[in-house]
Amino acid sequence: MNILLIGPQGSGKGTQAQLLVGEFGLYYVESGEILRAAAKSDPVIDRLINKEGKLLPDDITFRLVTDKLERERPQRDGILFDGFPRSVSQFELLDDWLSQMGKKINLTILIEISEEVSVKRLSARRIDPTNGKIYNLVTEPPPPEVDINSLVQREDDKPEAIKKRLELYKQVTGPLVERLDAAGTLKVVGGERPIEIIYEEISKAIKNGH
């Protein structure tokens, strides 16, 4: 089974993904990690992502993700996709790539939260500049020995920047959600509840095939 995990920034996809990987033995594809790694060696990708805050062209993102999968998951099955595909175009590229081996996206989990909650969660993120450790002042505060005043808030974690990212998410991913819903592969899960309750619902949907 191949699963697509989508949702706005701050919806808790990463937390749920780690739980799913642990229970179902899925291969985890987190597109952000792949793109950050590519940016370290490719100045064009670095400029687009880190300096201009733009999305990469769909074909480049597709190539980066599938190159990794062809090396590490050649059977193209048992994959959990997080953050990719994020547009209809990316989905079509991935769907065609999977179908070459008779595979497909079997289930899409959409974790929904309000814009207010997304802004609150993300704007509480802080980074320790000495080691790169990320904390959240609301959900994952630093231990007592860490000086909160020494932590740094990234520019893209400030409320106005978050709202721009959320608007982009709606524009790009909204049409994909509609398409997946029409195809009958979409499961919508409320993301403003305790982590274990959200996970229980997602796990049940996977076991039941929706």
Identify which of 8, 10, 9, 22 has the alpha carbon closest to the alpha carbon of residue 202.
Answer: 22
User: What is the average pLDDT across 148-176?
Assistant: 90
Helix (H), strand (E) at residue 120: helix 115-123
What confidence score (pLDDT) does residue 25 get?
95
209 or 171, which is more confident?
171
Q: For 57-95, how does the pLDDT look when each residue is reduced to its tens digit (9 = 90+)? A: 899 999 999 999 999 999 999 999 998 999 999 999 999
27 domain residue, yes or no? yes
Contact 128, 146 (CB under 8 A): yes
Is residue 195 assigned to a domain? yes
User: Does some domain include residue 178?
Assistant: yes
Percent of the chain with pLDDT over 90: 67
Q: Is residue 45 part of a domain?
A: yes
Q: The domain spanning residue 71 has which CATH number? A: 3.40.50.300
Would you say residue 50 has pLDDT above 80? no
pLDDT tens-digit profile of 112-129?
999 999 999 989 999 999
209: closest CA among 109, 106, 110?
106
Handedness of CA 110, 31, 176, 4 (dihedral sign): negative
Whether 107 is covered by a domain: the verdict is yes
Note the pTM of the prediction, 2 decimals.
0.87
Domain range enclosing 8? 3-113+173-207
Does residue 201 sit within a domain?
Answer: yes
Reported confidence tier of residue 46, pLDDT bands at 50, 70, 90:
confident
Q: pLDDT digit string (tens) for 93-116?
A: 999 999 999 999 999 999 999 999
- Asked whether residue 68 is assigned to any structural domain, the reply reads yes
Q: Would you say residue 149 lies in a domain?
A: no
If one counts the domains in the chain, the total is 1
